[in-house]
Amino acid sequence: MMGHVYVFDHPLIQHKLTYIRDKRTGTKEFRELVEEVSALMAYEITRDMPLEEVTVETPVAPAKCKVLSGKKLGLVPILRAGLGMVDGILRLIPTAKVGHLGLYRDPETLEPVQYYSKMPSDIGERELIVIDPMLATGGSAAAALRILKEMGARNMKLMCLIAAPEGIERVHREHDDVDIYVAAVDEKLNEKSYIVPGLGDAGDRLFGTK
Ligand code: URA
């Protein structure tokens, strides 16, 4: 099996992503746009959710209708930039549980190390959407997926705003069971592992730090 990459080319997503990339976009607008794009991506990513039939009484007659068949979702933002996408997704899927995963890069080994995690107790039964807005080298996303598998996760999707080819390759080399959902695949990484052209540092732009 090989994981797939799905690029969401919906015009609204692409339009908003352009303003997210623009360096003139300030923190408030950046955050709002990331939330909006995340909601639109959630709409696309949930396209395959199973439905079941129920009957309701309309004022006129009984109607056979569909409701979501109770598949349990979990969102797992990788701290800190992943937080910026959570509220937009929760707007569409308000009952999803949210687990948090904090990773930092060890300055010597350059490997991602977990410093925080708090997950729903039943992650093994949930479909998890792991959220990492910038898939650059893929190091932290691949580590997050490995850590979550060790915790019992079995069914995961990776959701990013922008990916570099290097990040996609790394995630799929280590996790060929995980599909990746992105708004754009950019050209490359620069010498500081920033995505080119990308949008800069997603965490700094979301939270106004630098
Ligand atoms: N993380 C970011 O926030 N931006 C990049 O370009 C790469 C990693």
ipTM, interface predicted TM-score of the complex = 0.95
Residue 210: what pLDDT? 85
Enter the tokens of residue 164. Answer: 């570099």
Whether residue 1 has pLDDT greater than 80? no
Ligand 1 centroid, distance to 202 Cα (angstroms): 6
Q: Please check if 141 is assigned to a binding site.
A: no
Mutate to test the pocket of ligand 1, among 201, 206, 210 (most ligand atoms within 8 A of CB): 201
Q: How sure is the predictor about 107, in pLDDT bands with cuts at 50, 70 and 90? A: confident
| Active site (catalytic) residues | 105, 109, 201, 204
d(CA 129, CA 160): 10
d(CA 106, CA 125): 32
Ligand 1 centroid, distance to 159 Cα (angstroms): 14
Contact 175, 142 (CB under 8 A): yes
Q: Is the peptide bond prior to 91 cis by the omega test (within 30 degrees of 0)? A: no
Residue 111: what pLDDT? 87
Protein residues whose CB sits closer than 6 Å to any atom of ligand 1: 81, 134, 136, 194-195, 198, 201-203
Whether residue 157 has pLDDT greater than 80? yes
Ligand 1 centroid, distance to 71 Cα (angstroms): 32
Nearest CA to ligand 1 atom 7: 194
Residue 203: what pLDDT? 97
Contact 175, 154 (CB under 8 A): no
Contact 36, 16 (CB under 8 A): yes
Residue 149: what pLDDT? 98
**Exposure on the CB side of residue 208, measured as CA atoms within 13 A:** 5
Q: Give the rounded percent of residues in the chain with a pLDDT score beyond 90.
A: 93
How much is the pTM? 0.94
Q: Please check if 200 is assigned to a binding site.
A: yes
Residue 19: what pLDDT? 98
